[in-house]
Chains A and B, each alone.
Chain A
Amino acid sequence: MTVPRSPTAAPWRRALPWLVVLTLVALAVARMVYLGSVGERFNAAFFTRALIDSIKLGSLYALIALGYTMVYGIIRLINFAHGEVFMIGAFTPYFLFTLTPYAWPAALVMALILAYGLLRVVELFRGSMRDPVVLGVAAVGFVGLAFALASWSWPFWAALVGSMLATAVLGLSIDRMAYVPLRTAPRNSLLITAIAVSFLLQNVGLLAFTNRQTPFRPDTPLTAPVSLDVGGVAVQTNWLLVAIPVITLVLVVALTSFVNRTRLGKAMRASAQDAEVAQMMGVSVDKVIATTFLLGSLLAAAGGAMWGLNFGSLNQPAIMGILPGIKAFAAAVIGGIGSLPGAVIGALIIGFSENFLTALFPRTPTFLGITEFKDTFAFVLLIVVLLVKPSGIVGEDLSEKV
């Protein structure tokens, strides 16, 4: 999905990104030293905390942004509903680790829905519903899920995996029900449908969950407190500091190798370049698109569960998904839409701008501070990047021709 840099580019052009990064780091260090001399509050711990938050948030945005970038790369759709998929992916583990074991009727209904989804997923990749593998997977899935839901109190890791699977089924069904009938429709119709799906999921979330904040405190060692010693000052944090970036890294590496090493990944890259020609060459573009939605939702669900862990609570469904979702989309655009490493880089930029930048310009008696504006940074960056360099940092040029 990425276009390799041209080897003939002038050396200074190749060094330019590093120069920019170095300059920014130098400026940030200078500003930190200055702030440290001004206020007692702005010590090493203050900035370490901001750094940790930036990395964690950036990783979470990266998990969401990958879904946007893959879908946009292939069907040129801003999947507005992806933020809501992330929201569902955050609420599902909550319902798995707090409310299990379920009563039998509820467990049966849920297992039935999930097994049906599983059936359709496997059917898509096996080609026929009458295939014994398809029916077998669905049957085993139904029985297993029904027992697990009705008799087992789910630990966090199982809730995470279960939620990833359930959300993947959801993402795939969104594609089947709302986007497949519109494959040949104008792109604006597709975008409006995506907005409608996003709204639908928000309100189904309100209906099914709650309209208040939901505490999200599973029993897991990941949230055990850790104390870091930075320059003589203790910084209280927890193992998520390591867990979130590592899990993100593992998932990104797995995704990248899937895209680069497998047949289906090759088909994905081909469809991203030119879906029509790929179709003519025998690639089943529908299958590829379904895979894209599946993988994107899987990652978003992982992001959702870790989002809950990180903040200790989930916002109400109507606002939980939309803002992280649109920021992650901004990240995908900043990095260069259609590019996997671009999405990660863009997400880190957004994460840093939200936490580290606000720490560099804190509220002082003479200055208002920029914390209140941090939600707008993603939009401002998005608009600036689209106007100045629509291809993003590492992306290909997607400007429309005649």
Chain B
Amino acid sequence: MARVATPTAFDAIDPARRLRNLALTLAAIGVGVLVLWGLESVGSAKLTQALALFAVWGVATVSLNLINGTLGILSLGHHGFMLIGGYTTGLLILDEAARQRILTSARSTMTEQTLGISVANLLQSVGLDGLTTPETLWARYLIAIFLGGLLAAVAGLVVGIPSLRLRGDYLAIVTFGFGEIIRLTASTRLFSAYTNGALGFPGVTSEFGKSVWWTFGVLAFTVFVISKLKYSSYGRAMQAIREDEIAAQAMGVNVAYHKVLGFVISAFFAGVAGGLWVSWLGGVRLDFFLFQLTFFFLVAISAGGTGSITGVLLGTALVVFVRQYGDPLEESYAIRTWLYLAAGVLALAAAGAFAFRSLRRLRPRLHWGTLVLAGTAALAALVAAIDPAFLEGSFRGFGMRAIFLSVLLIVIMVFRPEGMIGRAEFSWAALLREQRTGPTDEERAQDAWLSNPKLNAGGAGPRDDAGPPDDAGPARDEGGR
């Protein structure tokens, strides 16, 4: 996995240290590339697929995190943006014969003339019609996912505008509504010349979406752009909006501009993720873009740490792992096996509750709810051991992975709403457990602002603790604001 060090509050201004961090980052990227290469050549096809899916969903979660984490708006319409990017990419990457099949499909009672957009003309005008040989396919794909992203960004603009008037859960439900409107509209006859209705179309090449190089390349680009954005003045403005919209407005942050900008950039990358996703799947169908997708991203973001790119990638890894390697859970087993499994889960829950109450020093440590859990576990194990006649037959664990993920999300929200690592980001200084030695970028900017003579003639100069980097020492933590 490529790691990108981003400046955090722990990063010192010391140029030597900066150089070292850069070297470490480059080395980490190199190691990441080597590991990826090793996994790709040694590992199974399933592993490669899982890795590629991690990167594809990583693009989506990192972009969703820009709205949900950095901007602090709960957005539930990401599947809609991905749908736009996915269908666009799919349509532009299809070969001529497959496209004609959509047009002549029985469901396509509408022609391209209805909406007046001909895909052939579009391909010609962006110069994609020439790129038909396998050697030039990559260029075509690259342009296609870019165009998909742009189209999704336009949708992001449309969705972002209500965000100026609404807040909180109303805004969340409106983004959800937009996502569903996009999905429901794409299946109508009006667009069937492009989407082939709800059936969609197969035959999107998997050459890119299942290649770790392509997907991780796009992921690295996304993480680079979004982390740069997060630590730019734009990102700080967005975080100010997240903390307190009215205060941010009072401090001169252009709330409307930054909100819409966040939506547009996030939607762009969601569209790109959609383009990778259809390529990973090898086709386009309406039910590849259900609300479920956004839900999985939400689990990833909340599990990792809302607002932290590092955390979001960790959460994505978890969700992708469950999705790709949890399929044994969904197979058919004897009811007896399920009873043992249920007993195990209940016993674990009881043990967890006991440990939780002990750690938090809650009395009584053995709450009667814990006893009920343990008792039920024992009962289930007992029944399974006796194996009475009515336990004949087997049972298919259909939907177990989703159940696991939703229970996980509820548990996270109740016990650790900040997720695995909260808002912390990966940084070399934190990894090496370094002390801070100087002011951070943010503090330096503040100092520069405070020492501006025009701003305040006789008043506050630079803060008294803004000494040279080396004498400040650890005591800085208490100083200042």
Q: Which of B166, B181, B403, B409 contacts A380 (CB 8 A)?
A: B181
A372:B189 contact, CB within 8 angstroms = yes
| Residue picked from A181, A203, A376, most chain B C-beta under 10 Å | A203
Q: Which of B166-221 contact A (CB under 8 A)?
A: 166-170, 172-174, 176-178, 180-181, 184-185, 187-190
B188 lies within 8 A of A204 (CB): no
| In the complex, B400 has a CB within 8 A of chain A | yes
Question: In the complex, are the beta carbons of A196 and B167 less than 8 A apart?
Answer: no
Give the complex CA separation of A318 and B398 in angstroms. 12
**Contact across chains for A376 and B184 when beta carbons are under 8 A apart:** yes
A1-27 interface with B by 8 A CB criterion = none
- The answer for the CA separation of A207 and B396 in the assembled complex, in Å, is 8
Q: What 1/0 flags go to A181-203 for Cβ under 8 Å of B?
A: 11001111101110111011011
A193–B413 touching, CB < 8 Å = yes
Bound CA span A185–B417, Å: 9
Cβ of A203: which chain B residues have Cβ within 8 Å of it?
A: 399-400, 402-403, 406
Whether A199 contacts B295 by the Cβ 8 Å rule is yes
Q: Mark A365-402, 1 if CB is under 8 A from B, else 0.
A: 00010001101100110110011001000000000101
**Are A329 and B173 touching (Cβ within 8 A)?**
yes
Per-residue interface assignment for chain A, residues 103 to 116, with 1 indicating a CB less than 8 Å from any chain B CB and 0 otherwise: 10110000000000
Contact with A along B277-300 (1 / 0, CB 8 A): 000000000000001100100110
Instruction: Encode contact with B along A311-347: 1 for CB under 8 Å, 0 otherwise.
Output: 0000000100010001001100100000000000000
Q: Taking A199-B295, A207-B397 as contacts, is the C-beta distance between A400 and B417 under 8 angstroms? A: no
Enumerate chain B residues within 8 angstroms of A318, measured Cβ to Cβ: 399
A188 to B167, CA, bound (A): 11
Q: Mark B365-408, 1 if CB is under 8 A from A, else 0.
A: 00000000000000000000000101000000111101101110
Q: How far is the CA of A103 from the CA of B389 in the complex (A)?
A: 12
Instruction: Please indicate the chain B residues that have their CB under 8 angstroms from the CB of A266 in the complex.
Output: none
Cα distance A333–B405 when bound, in Å? 30
Q: Is the CB of B409 within 8 A of A207?
A: no
Interface size grouping (class) on chain B: 35 or more
A interface residues, tally (CB under 8 Å): 49
A383 contacts B162, C-beta separation under 8 Å: yes
User: Quick check: B178 and A78 within 8 Å, CB to CB?
Assistant: no
A77 in the interface, Cβ–Cβ < 8 Å? yes
Contact A206 B184 (CB under 8 A): no
Closest residue of chain A to B173 (Cβ to Cβ) is A78
B42 at the interface (CB under 8 A from A): no
Q: State whether A181 touches B174 (Cβ < 8 A).
A: no
Chain A residues whose C-beta falls within 8 Å of the C-beta of B299 in the assembled complex:
196
B414 within 8 A of A: yes
Task: Check if A76 is an interface residue, CB within 8 A of chain B.
Answer: yes
C-alpha gap A168/B468 in the complex (Å): 66
Q: Name the residue on A nearest B114 (C-beta).
A: A368
| B188, A372: Cβ atoms closer than 8 Å | yes
- Is A158 an interface residue, CB under 8 A from the partner? no
User: In the docked arrangement, what's the CA distance between A203 and B326, Å?
Assistant: 15
Q: Which residue of A lies closest to B159 (CB)?
A: A383
* CB-based nearest B residue for A198: B406
Establish whether residues A199 and B402, one from each chain, have CB atoms under 8 Å apart when the complex forms.
yes
Contact for A196 among B173, B174, B180, B410, CB less than 8 A: B410
Among B390, B405, B417, find the residue whose CB has the most chain A CB atoms closer than 10 A: B417
The 8 Å CB contact of A322, one of B174, B178, B291, is: B291
Determine which of A103, A106, A188, A206 lies in contact with B169 in the assembled complex, contact meaning CB atoms within 8 Å.
A188
Q: Is the CB of A192 within 8 A of B406?
A: no
Given A188-B169, A207-B399, check contact A376 B181 (CB 8 Å). yes
Give Cα A371 to B189, complex, Å: 10
Of residues 164 through 181 on chain A, the ones whose CB sits less than 8 Å from some CB of chain B are 177-178, 181
Is A211 an interface residue when CB atoms closer than 8 A count as contact?
yes
Q: Does B302 contact A (CB under 8 A)?
A: yes
Report the bound CA distance from A375 to B184 in whole Å.
7
Q: In the assembled complex, how far is the CB of residue B395 from the closest CB belonging to chain A, in whole angstroms?
A: 9
Question: Does B363 lie at the interface of the complex (its beta carbon under 8 Å from any beta carbon of A)?
Answer: no
Select which of B292, B397, B403 is within 8 A of A200 by beta carbon: B403
The verdict on B346 contacting chain A, using a C-beta distance below 8 Å, is: no
Establish whether residues A386 and B413, one from each chain, have CB atoms under 8 Å apart when the complex forms. Answer: no
Provide the bound-state CA to CA distance between A181 and B369, in Å. Answer: 15
Q: Does A196 lie within 8 Å of B406, measured CB to CB? A: yes
User: Contacting A199 at CB < 8 Å: which of B176, B406, B414?
Assistant: B406
Q: How many A-B residue pairs have CB under 8 A?
A: 132
Q: Is the CB of B173 within 8 A of A193?
A: no
B74 at the interface (CB under 8 A from A): yes
Q: B165 contacts the other chain (Cβ, under 8 Å)? A: yes
Given A76-B169, A187-B168, CB of A181 within 8 Å of CB of B184: no
Closest B residue to A103 by beta carbon equals B390
Most buried by A among B170, B174, B178: B170
CB pair B173–A382 under 8 Å, yes or no, is yes
Q: How far is the CB of B68 from chain A (nearest CB, A)?
A: 8
Interface residue B246 (Cβ < 8 Å from any Cβ of A): yes
The docked-state distance in angstroms from the alpha carbon of A95 to that of B405 is 27
Q: Let me know if B398 and A382 touch, CB within 8 A.
A: no
A78 and B410 contact, CB distance less than 8 A = no
- Across the two chains, which residue of chain B brings its CB closest to A72? B169
Question: Would you list which residues of chain A between 269 and 313 have a CB under 8 Å from chain B?
Answer: none
A188 to B406, CA, bound (A): 16
- Whether B413 lies near A77 (C-beta < 8 A) is no
A16 → B minimal CB distance (Å): 23
Q: Chain B: which residue is nearest A363 at the CB level? A: B189
Is there contact, CB below 8 Å, between B407 and A200?
yes
B291, closest chain A residue (CB): A322
**B402 pairs with A196, CB closer than 8 A:** no
Contact B409 A196 (CB under 8 A): yes
A70 to chain B, nearest CB (A): 16
Known: A207-B400, A329-B173, A387-B165. A189 touches B190 (CB 8 A): no
Q: Which of B166, B178, B181 counts the most chain A CB atoms within 10 A?
A: B181
B-side contacts of A326, CB under 8 Å: 173, 176-177, 180
Q: How close is A126's CB to chain B, nearest CB, in angstroms?
A: 18
Report Cα–Cα, A189/B388, bound state, in Å: 44
Give the distance to chain A from B242, nearest Cβ to Cβ, in Å.
11
Q: Which residues of B contact A77 (CB under 8 A)?
A: 169
Contact of B74 among A191, A330, A376, A387 (CB under 8 A): A191
A330–B298 alpha-carbon span in the complex (Å): 23
Beta-carbon contact of A191 and B169 below 8 Å: yes
Q: A197 and B181 in contact (CB under 8 A), knowing A76-B169, A207-B397, A402-B246?
A: no
Subset of 16 A-B contacts with CB under 8 Å: A77-B169, A78-B173, A105-B390, A182-B414, A188-B74, A188-B169, A191-B169, A195-B295, A200-B407, A200-B410, A326-B173, A330-B177, A376-B181, A376-B185, A379-B184, A380-B177
Q: Which B residues form the contact surface with A (CB < 8 A)?
A: 74, 76, 110, 162, 165-170, 172-174, 176-178, 180-181, 184-185, 187-190, 246, 291-292, 295, 298-299, 302, 388, 390, 397-400, 402-403, 405-407, 409-410, 413-414, 417
Task: Give the top 10 A-B pairs by smallest Cβ distance, nearest first.
Answer: A203-B399, A379-B177, A196-B409, A200-B406, A372-B188, A206-B399, A199-B406, A203-B402, A193-B413, A181-B414
